[in-house]
Amino acid sequence: MTARIIDGTAIAAAVRADVARQVEAHIAAGGRRPHLSVILVGDDPASHVYVRNKGRACEEAGMTSETIQRPATLTQQELLDEVARLNADPSVSGILVQMPLPQHLDELAVMSALSPKKDVDGLSPTSLGLLLQGVPAFAPATPSGVLEMLRREGIDPEGQRVVIVGRSVLVGRPLAMLLANKAPGANATVTLAHTGTRDLGAVTREADILVAAMGRPRAITADMVKPGAVVIDVGINQIDDASRKSGKRLVGDVDFEGVSAVASAITPVPGGVGPMTIAMLIVNTLAAAKGL
């Protein structure tokens, strides 16, 4: 068996094109052009790349965006004041505080300060609480991207056994809630496993759909995958590679070459879930602009 490659880059482009059409219809109907404000604190190189990509996606979808860059020495109160200003600005549809923040800043306090109506990353306590109740305002972008990817690939989780390896608040836990909802494109039987799970391979081999999101390079190997399973790799890890000019390359949490010989479908890294995260962020920003 050779797995079908799920092209996240192509699916994300289709999502962005759909959003662009909806943005123009929204404006033609008298709506305000959606605007995303991103707060970027410090000089983390990966964060700067992510923020640039988010800005490009907004522009492509006919939205406006701004990056509010602040030094790593920013105080907690200064950051909370910036969030409060954006909360009160009617021209701002969505707000995203790029993580991680410098260690001296309280991420939970910052996320708690976001207006639930503008929390387009869906990670504030209010947003996650609504998700747990099955009525999310804005679901987190990466889990939403996984569901949208499955939907567009014609992979229906209903009644299937889904195993998610990883329990983070960014991916694992919200994805488990979304997939367990009694709703179209969900209604799955979900197991939330992690690096502390005993005999992890025995658990993952039960999965019809296996999602790897633990942040360990190539941790999921072919012997841990049920033949014919769909494998979604959320991991992004940098490893040494002397054959590359940079000396580094990106790999996922799945041993792509080995697992591709066992799975029926698989997402690559890069080019899989990553582009979907940004695509779903602009979906949420449009919804915020509409007041949904």
Going by C-alpha positions, the residue among 78, 77, 82, 121 that lies closest to residue 99 is 121
Summarised one tens digit per residue, pLDDT across range 242-267 is: 888 888 888 999 999 999 999 999 99
**What confidence category does residue 1 fall into, taking pLDDT thresholds of 50, 70 and 90?**
low
Alpha carbon distance 72, 69 (integer Å)? 10
What pTM was estimated for this model as a whole? 0.93
**Edge-to-edge, what's the strand order for the sheet holding 35-41?**
64-70, 35-41, 94-97
**Catalytic (active site) residue 89:** no
Which residue segments constitute the domains of the chain, with CATH numbers given? Answer: 29-124 (3.40.50.10860), 141-273 (3.40.50.720)
Strands 64-70 and 35-41: parallel
Q: Which of 121, 233, 253, 255 is catalytic?
A: 121
Among all chains, which residue has been given the structure tokens 């841990």?
224
**Catalytic (active site) residue 245:** no
**Catalytic (active site) residue 255:** no
Summarised one tens digit per residue, pLDDT across range 129-138 is: 999 988 878 9
Q: Which of 22, 54, 226, 233 is catalytic?
A: 54
Higher pLDDT, residue 241 or 89: 89
Residue 76, pLDDT above cutoff 70:
yes
Q: Which of 98, 226, 233, 253 is catalytic?
A: 98
